[in-house]
């Protein structure tokens, strides 16, 4: 199997990969639904090896350093109902990242990324429903060659809205792990809605769920993620 390289375009925090894109790239190699755990920031433009271990874990290695690991998983998640596309547009106008963004060049949610470069998923609150929501129209750069979005980009779309669902006060958190299940790849140019909602919290760990819907409300993808506050922030 060829080595995995995360191109610089697909960054999250500056200098490291977007967690959802990284997880989707690993899941594509595993060929099954997995929980991807990030052990350290995945490096960009760096050849990574994926190694199947005896216990079924897939380890992602940068040299001798383990960057992440993937374990077979199932995802039992009851999604919130889809907002309308116009509701998602209105919610995105309240996106917290417009006022301040920790990682403005993030491939998924960065405000400094242009159309056709970043995904520009700006999830803002729908307070009456307890969710965040954003519109998303996949552009041609995400095409797998069949008119549909590549699975790793579906995974990326399900990443950042989870952060904004659990960090309404903009506290610092990093993605610890994510489980993604893609039910149907969105079509290029298809109006979609992406939502996120909080599940539970325990100490520094915050669980979030996300979903991608087609314009007619069909569920295209679901994810469950754990976001972790760094110790220096939680103290």
Q: Where do the domains of the chain lie? A: 8-72, 85-234
Q: In the CATH scheme, what is the code of domain 85-234?
A: 3.10.129.10
Model pLDDT, residue 1: 67
> Which tokens in the block code for residue 4?
């995995």
Distance CA 215, CA 212 (A): 10
Report the SS3 class of residue 38.
strand
Q: What is the mean pLDDT of the chain?
A: 95
Let me know: does 107 contact 18? Beta carbons within 8 Å.
yes
pTM of the model: 0.95
What number of H helices and E strands is found in the chain?
5, 10
Under the banding of pLDDT at 50, 70 and 90, the label for residue 82 is very high
CA distance 235 to 233: 6
- pLDDT score of 169: 75
**DSSP state, 11?**
B
Q: Compute the average pLDDT of residues 113-130.
A: 95
Give the model confidence (pLDDT) of 179-226 as tens digits.
999 999 999 999 999 999 999 999 999 999 999 999 999 999 999 999
- Average pLDDT rounded to a whole number, residues 6-14: 96
pLDDT of residue 112: 97
């Amino acid at each position: 199997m060829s080595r995995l390289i995360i191109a610089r375009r697909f960054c999250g925090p500056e200098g490291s990969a977007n967690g959802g894109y990284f997880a989707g790239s690993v899941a594509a190699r595993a060929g099954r639904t997995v929980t991807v755990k990030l052990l350290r920031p995945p490096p960009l433009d760096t050849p990574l090896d994926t190694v199947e271990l005896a216990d079924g874990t897939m380890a992602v290695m940068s040299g001798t350093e383990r960057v992440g690991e993937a374990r077979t998983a199932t995802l039992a998640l009851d999604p919130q109902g889809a907002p309308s596309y116009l509701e998602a547009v209105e919610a995105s106008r309240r996106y917290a990242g417009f006022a301040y963004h920790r990682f403005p060049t993030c491939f998924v949610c960065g405000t400094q990324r242009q159309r056709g470069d970043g995904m520009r998923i700006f999830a803002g609150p729908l307070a009456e429903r307890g969710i965040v929501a954003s519109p998303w129209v996949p552009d041609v750069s995400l095409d797998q060659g069949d008119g549909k979005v590549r699975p790793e980009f579906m995974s990326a779309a399900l990443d950042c809205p989870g952060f904004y669902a659990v960090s309404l006060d903009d506290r610092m958190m990093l993605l610890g792990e994510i489980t993604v299940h893609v039910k149907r790849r969105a079509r290029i140019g298809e109006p979609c809605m992406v939502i996120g909602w909080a599940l539970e919290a325990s100490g520094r760990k915050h669980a979030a769920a996300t979903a991608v819907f087609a314009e007619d409300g069909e569920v295209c993808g679901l994810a469950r993620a754990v976001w972790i506050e760094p110790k220096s922030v939680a103290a």
